[in-house]
């Protein structure tokens, strides 16, 4: 395993954004604001979906899963980043690095699968409206959610184990702001071609295939929309499907840029800022995207406020 230096001395050094020391204070403030927005927005959706009976539908069940997933995903790396930005110490324990790598991989993979499930829900709602309640039975919805989480955590167990079996060579400096597979593989003096090939295969399987499935669902949705004549129906479809498509784009485009592009001289520094976008910005935008023009959410808020104030 990765023992030569890191495990024997008990820690790694996360270089993060130390090449831009003048940016660290600014980054700390901006990232903290986005993190607080992520916590607030996603907790709001989870609590509201639980409290309001009108939101006890498959769409909001999966949205609550996504919100909880985003909370866990950001919390797996951002608090550590904030600590490292605030002070001179930029270390993470060996055990902490193992745990962080596992959860970042698991939660990222789970989100890929969950976004496919959400696109299937939208396909069933738009293209099979008469069979929707049968297709998206609560038991089946729970099964899809469990399958998303199990597939993500199962794939991560395999890949994180393979990564930490690679022997280290010489130093403990991880050129990233969290423990990530490509950055950790750079610390090895052994042949890592098998690990890189595994990463490419798993990235293709859990990124490209889900993306193709999502695009297939939306191609069917577009065909169904073109046959619609109801303006109200069109607005509802564009409202819910448009929000999901924006979330898909915000998540998959950065991931593809990092994991499925050929390496270049500046790819490591670019990768840090791209990773910062999908770990900090995207989870904070998801609640806004789903609530700003969503009549269901606005109606639920009014009902809860009326009940709370006895109106």
Full pLDDT tens readout for the chain, 311 residues:
444 445 445 788 998 888 888 888 999 999 999 999 999 999 999 999 998 888 899 999 999 999 999 999 999 999 999 999 987 788 888 899 999 999 999 999 999 999 999 999 999 988 898 999 999 999 999 999 999 999 999 999 988 888 888 777 766 888 888 998 888 888 887 777 888 888 888 888 888 899 999 999 998 988 888 777 666 666 666 766 888 888 999 999 888 887 766 665 556 678 888 889 989 999 999 888 887 767 778 788 788 777 655 54
225/126 Cα distance (integer angstroms): 8
Residue 307's pLDDT is 65
Q: How does pLDDT run across 224-237, given as a tens digit for each residue?
A: 887 776 666 666 66
Residue 2's pLDDT is 46
Residue 267's pLDDT is 64
All structural domains of the chain: 6-304 (1.20.1070.10)
Residue 46's pLDDT is 94
Show Cβ contacts of residue 300 under 8 Å, excluding neighbours closer than 6 positions.
48, 51, 52, 54, 55
- If one counts every other C-beta atom within 10 angstroms of the C-beta of residue 305, the result is 10
Residue 170's pLDDT is 61
CB 108 within 8 A of CB 255: yes
Q: How does pLDDT run across 255-269, given as a tens digit for each residue?
A: 888 776 666 555 667
- Spell out where the chain has E strands: 11-14, 91-93, 173-174
Residue 141's pLDDT is 96
Residue 195's pLDDT is 80
| Polymer length of the chain | 311
Q: How does pLDDT run across 140-164, given as a tens digit for each residue?
A: 999 999 999 999 999 999 888 888 8
């Amino acid at each position: 395993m990765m023992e030569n230096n890191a495990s024997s001395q008990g820690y790694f050094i996360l270089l993060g954004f130390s090449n831009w020391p003048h940016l660290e204070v600014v980054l700390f403030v901006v990232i903290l604001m986005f993190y607080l927005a992520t916590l607030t927005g996603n907790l709001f959706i989870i609590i509201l979906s639980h409290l309001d009976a009108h939101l006890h539908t498959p769409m909001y069940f999966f949205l609550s899963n996504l919100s909880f997933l985003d909370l866990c995903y950001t919390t797996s790396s951002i608090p550590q980043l904030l600590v490292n930005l605030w002070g001179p110490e930029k270390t993470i324990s060996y055990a902490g690095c193992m745990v962080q790598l596992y959860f970042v991989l698991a939660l990222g993979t789970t989100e890929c699968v969950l976004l496919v499930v959400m696109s299937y829900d939208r396909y069933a709602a738009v293209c099979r409206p008469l069979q929707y309640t049968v297709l998206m039975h609560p038991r089946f919805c729970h099964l899809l959610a469990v399958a998303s989480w199990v597939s993500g955590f199962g794939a991560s167990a395999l890949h994180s184990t393979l990564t930490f079996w690679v022997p280290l060579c010489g130093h403990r400096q991880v050129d990233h702001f969290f423990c990530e597979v490509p950055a950790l593989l750079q610390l090895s003096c052994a042949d890592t071609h098998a690990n890189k090939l595994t990463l490419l295969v798993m990235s293709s399987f859990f990124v490209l295939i889900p993306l193709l499935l999502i695009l297939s669902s939306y191609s069917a949705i577009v065909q169904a929309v073109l046959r619609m004549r109801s303006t109200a129906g069109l607005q509802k479809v564009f409202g819910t499907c448009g929000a999901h498509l924006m979330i898909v784009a915000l998540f998959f485009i950065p991931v593809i840029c990092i994991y499925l592009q050929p390496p270049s001289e500046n790819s490591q520094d670019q990768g840090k800022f791209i990773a910062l976008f999908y770990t900090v910005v995207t989870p904070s935008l998801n609640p806004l995207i789903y609530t700003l023009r969503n009549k269901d959410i606005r109606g639920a808020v009014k009902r809860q406020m009326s009940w709370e104030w006895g109106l």
